[in-house]
Every structure is written in structure tokens, then in C-alpha cells.
Amino acid sequence: MGWHRLADLGLAVALAILLIGTGWAVAGAGHGSDAVEAASGLAAADAASLAALRTLYRRPEVIPVPPDNPITPAKADLGARLFQDPGLSGSGTLSCASCHDAARGFSDGRPRAIGDGGQVLARRSPTLWNLAWAPFLFWDGRAASLEAQAAMPIEEHAEMNQPLGALAERLSADPSYRAAFARAFPEEPAVSPANIVRALAAFERTLVSPRTRFDAWVEGDDTALTPAEKRGLLLFHGRAGCANCHQGWALTDHGFYDIGLPDASDRGRGAVLGLPQVDHAFKTPTLREIGRRGPFMHDGSLATLEAVIDHYDRGVVERPTLPPELPRRLGLSATERADLLAFLGTLTVPGEEPPSPEPLPVATPETTAMPPATAGRISQRGRRFDPGRVTVPVGTLLEVVNDEEATAHNVRIDDPRLHFNSGIQDPGETVAIAFPEPGRYVAFCGIHPRMRLEVEVRPAGP
Ligand code: HEC
Ligand code: HEC
């Protein structure tokens, strides 16, 4: 999948820049800076790193869609209608949009969501921007696709409290819904539970965050960002370490991290994976349209972006589950905090009106041909499997070595033929996988799920 590879490349470049940013900026201070750069507060080395950063933020050209649920205008329209319809809830009062409100960045402005019966839910309503690229859904990643996710809030007693079968019956009583389902699913024109979740998922995949001033800068307009915003971007990538996790055009790596929030009552990803080492880890959210959707975090505990910066600067609670990607005790100056905020401000379309999603063509990910070479050992350095595709003869062991400095991984295969779970794989540890029968398998990391390894297992013999 092309977009995975590009994003991984992005990490390598980001790390390179991080190093350059700390070393060169000091060394270069003696010569390069002229009057203009001094006036803008950007040294020559900074200008060079800024230019290199542009390549990390190129927007995607297509929306990736699964082969079994392509997006058509009729299907996305039906999904949008369902999304707004309070008839999806048992009481008839709550729609998806009640908790995922476009005017509030598809969140709801509350620290925790409030369900159909009025009870306060355990977590905050997350944004729905840019989920077409998310390998796992929910703050703890417990749903593996938007289709699987969509059924859950509808049926969940505390949320919308309506069995999907009953909902399908309710909707099929309405002739305009019957006609809309027939247009959206010409091959199987039924108002069925499967088609309800397909339509919702198709609509959600079209929620691509709109272009902002930041994109104008990425595409080469140097005047689109102010000097403070550029300094903020450098800090985001450099000393503040934000880009260790908030990577790429959507500013997320879709990974799971404990960022040291004070309330540790929710195990998050740790409970889903059954790994206490990733307790309190939650999904990195996109930072696009961040200005519309406070309060922030899975528990809504930080009311403003200032409070978010304060948290990363000096509020992180020390505990064994903090990941190596999270910087500690940043000690930011008042100017640095203001610069970071200024940069975050460039990721939201200004104005009160909810912005329209960016229209993009769709594409099903192409399955690439396997390289003929056999690799006995797979590296995981820089949070990517290398090589990312291998072929092995059945009966041989595939070795996956964690050759990272500090980052732990969790290699998993979730396949009817093989359920594999390495448990926590600390740096230095190698796991060996035996495949039961020929065929194609996909391994991923439960903590950094953008890591994917495709394995083609060949029949034994010559
Ligand atoms: C009562 C409020 C509420 C309603 C109604 C609701 N949601 Fe949610 N939604 C939430 C909360 C809270 C979460 C986070 C739950 C968690 O992570 O455990 C969530 C999570 C999600 C996610 C995962 C986002 C991510 O970043 O992984 C998607 C997608 C989603 N909802 C779509 C929908 C759809 C579609 C509907 C209507 C069928 C819907 N929601 C109805 C509150 C709501
Ligand atoms: C170790 C990975 C990591 C680093 C480093 C990191 N973040 Fe985050 N960020 C996350 C995760 C994970 C969450 C969600 C945490 C939660 O809800 O428990 C998050 C949440 C946020 C949110 C709230 C988003 C929302 O929708 O609620 C903002 C804003 C944010 N981060 C900005 C930053 C900034 C600015 C920096 C640098 C100072 C930074 N992050 C550094 C992983 C990281």
C-alpha cells in the first residue's frame, strides 16, 4: 500500500530533521543569519529545515476504500442522511450527529458524551475527521473497520440503544429510505443491517479535513505562515517532540500512547491488547480542525489548547507506561508556548461555519506483487517492518527482530488460519512465527498499527 510506505518514509525524514534541528541550529548561529532572518526570528538552518518539512505534509490524492465497500455518491448521501437521523436511537432523540457535530469538529463540546438514557459515558466523543486512514477505531482501537465500528454505538445500550435488526425494520417502513437503499446498493437493494453500516462507513470516509493556510505553505507559498507559526512548526518537530506521534498531513500516526494524563482509571489500549505495558494508551487523534473541538483528550480533561500545551510542558504524570516517544519536562518559554499555539492555529479553517470536507477521488488499495526474494529476518527499526513484504516456504520460521533503541512492539496476526500475538516485544527481542499453511498473511503492530508486514507463504518443495 503506497500510502503506508510514504508515511514511514516521513518518519525517517522527521527523525533526521530532529537531529539536524538540535545540532545545526547552534553550530550555524555564528555565520548564516542575516538581517532579514534575524527580523523574522528564523536562522538560516531553520529555514532549510522548514523547506525540508514540506515533503512530510503533502496531502493524499485519493481516499483509500476497502474493496468490499466502494464509495458512490448515492451511498455517501444515504450515509449522511442516516448520520443525521435521530430515528437511529431507541428513544428517537439522538443521532450520530448529536455527539459528532460538524460545527464542533465532529465532537460535541462535552468532556464526556451523554447517551440515549442521559447517562454520562466513559469517554469523550472523538472527532471523525480523516478516519479513512485509521487502521483501528475508538480511543482504544477496539474496532478494526468503520463498518465494524458503526454497528456499535447504534446497539450499545448506553449510547443509541437500538438493535440493528429493529432499526432496519423501522427504516424499511419509510418508502424514501427504501428508494435510497436501492440507489445505494443496486446489487442487493435491501434495508439491512449490513447496508446500514456500509452506508455510514462510506459517508465517514468522505470526511477529509479541508485545506487550510498550512496546506498553502506546504505547497510552496512561503507567505502563508507567519514567522511565529513557522517557529511553532519547527518546535513541533524539534525539541517539543510532538511529531514523534502527530505525523504526516493529518498529524497522526494512528498509534497508541500513554501521554501521562492524571486520571489513570481507564486502561485504554492495554485492556484491548491484554498488555499492562500499554495501559492508559489511547489513539493519537488527528490535529486537523483542532480549534473547533475542545475540551480535549479521551477523558475531556483538558479544556483548552493552552492547557494541552501546559500538560505536555510540565503536567505529564510519571509512570512506567509512558512511551519513549513522549518528551518529559520540556520547560518551554512563554514565546515557545505561544509559537506552538500559533502553529496549531493554522490547522483549522477560520470562521464559525463548519467547513466542507475536501472532495477527493477514491481508490481501493492495490495489492502489490511480492518480491521474489526470501527474507529470514525482519527489522522493526523506526517503527516499520523492513522488508515490508516477504515470501517464505511453509514450514520455515519467520524471525521478526525488535532492533529499536527504546520502543516496544507487539507483533500480531489476526487471521482465521493463524492467531499470533507476540506479547510485549521489548528492544532486543526476536519473535519467530510459524505459518500453518500456504497463503497470504498480514502482521501488524498492536501499538503502532501503521506497521504492516505482508507475508506470502509458499508451498514447500522446489
Ligand atoms: C452518545 C454519543 C454518541 C453517539 C450518539 C454516537 N457516538 Fe460515536 N463515539 C462516541 C464516543 C464517546 C466515542 C468514543 C468511544 C470510545 O473510544 O470508547 C465514539 C467513537 C466513534 C468513532 C471512532 C472514532 C475514532 O477516532 O476512532 C466513530 C467512527 C464513531 N463514533 C461514529 C459514530 C456513528 C457513525 C454514530 C451513529 C451511528 C455514532 N458514532 C454515534 C459518542 C457517540
Ligand atoms: C507520545 C506520542 C505523543 C506526543 C509526543 C504528543 N502527542 Fe498529542 N496526543 C497523543 C495522544 C495518544 C493523544 C490522545 C491522548 C488521550 O486522549 O489520552 C494526544 C492528544 C493531543 C491533543 C488533543 C486532541 C483531541 O482531539 O483531543 C492535542 C491538541 C495534542 N495531542 C497536541 C500535541 C502537541 C502540541 C504535542 C507536542 C507538545 C503533542 N501532542 C505530543 C500522542 C502524542
**Pocket lining: 6 vs ligand 2, CB cutoff 6 Å:** no
- Within 8 A by CB and 6+ apart from 190, the residues are 181
Give me the residues of the chain with pLDDT under 70, please.
Answer: 1-41, 367-373, 375, 462
Report the pLDDT value the prediction gives residue 369, as an integer from 0 to 100. 65
Report the pLDDT value the prediction gives residue 370, as an integer from 0 to 100. 60
Report the pLDDT value the prediction gives residue 461, as an integer from 0 to 100. 74
CATH class of 377-458: mainly beta
What does pTM read for this prediction? 0.91
The ligand placed nearest to the CA atom of residue 147 is 1
The H-or-E segment that residue 251 falls in is none
Helices (H), 29-145: 35-40, 44-53, 73-84, 96-99
pLDDT tens for 315-342 read 999 999 999 999 988 999 999 999 999 9
Reading the block at residue 401, the C-alpha cell is: 527482530
**Pocket lining: 242 vs ligand 2, CB cutoff 6 Å:** yes
CA of 403 to the centre of ligand 2 (A): 26
CA nearest to 183, candidates 76, 75, 82, 71:
75
CA nearest to 248, candidates 214, 295, 223:
214
The ligand placed nearest to the CA atom of residue 14 is 2
Phi first, then psi: give them for residue 103, nearest 5 degrees.
Answer: -70, -20
Report the pLDDT value the prediction gives residue 6, as an integer from 0 to 100. 30
**Pocket lining: 126 vs ligand 1, CB cutoff 6 Å:** yes
**Pocket lining: 326 vs ligand 2, CB cutoff 6 Å:** yes
- Within 8 A by CB and 6+ apart from 19, the residues are none
What's the CATH number of domain 67-210+251-301+349-359, 2.40.128.260, 1.10.760.10, 1.10.10.60, 3.10.105.10? 1.10.760.10
CA of 402 to the centre of ligand 1 (A): 34
Q: Are 229 and 98 within 8 A, CB to CB?
A: no
Torsion angle (degrees, nearest 10) of CA 6, 8, 9, 13? 130
CA nearest to 406, candidates 379, 425, 378, 387:
425
Domain layout of the chain by residue ranges: 67-210+251-301+349-359, 377-458
67-210+251-301+349-359 shares its CATH topology with 377-458: no
Report the pLDDT value the prediction gives residue 372, as an integer from 0 to 100. 56
For atom 40 of ligand 2, the residue with the nearest CA is 242
pLDDT tens for 60-104 read 999 999 999 999 999 999 999 999 999 999 999 999 999 999 999
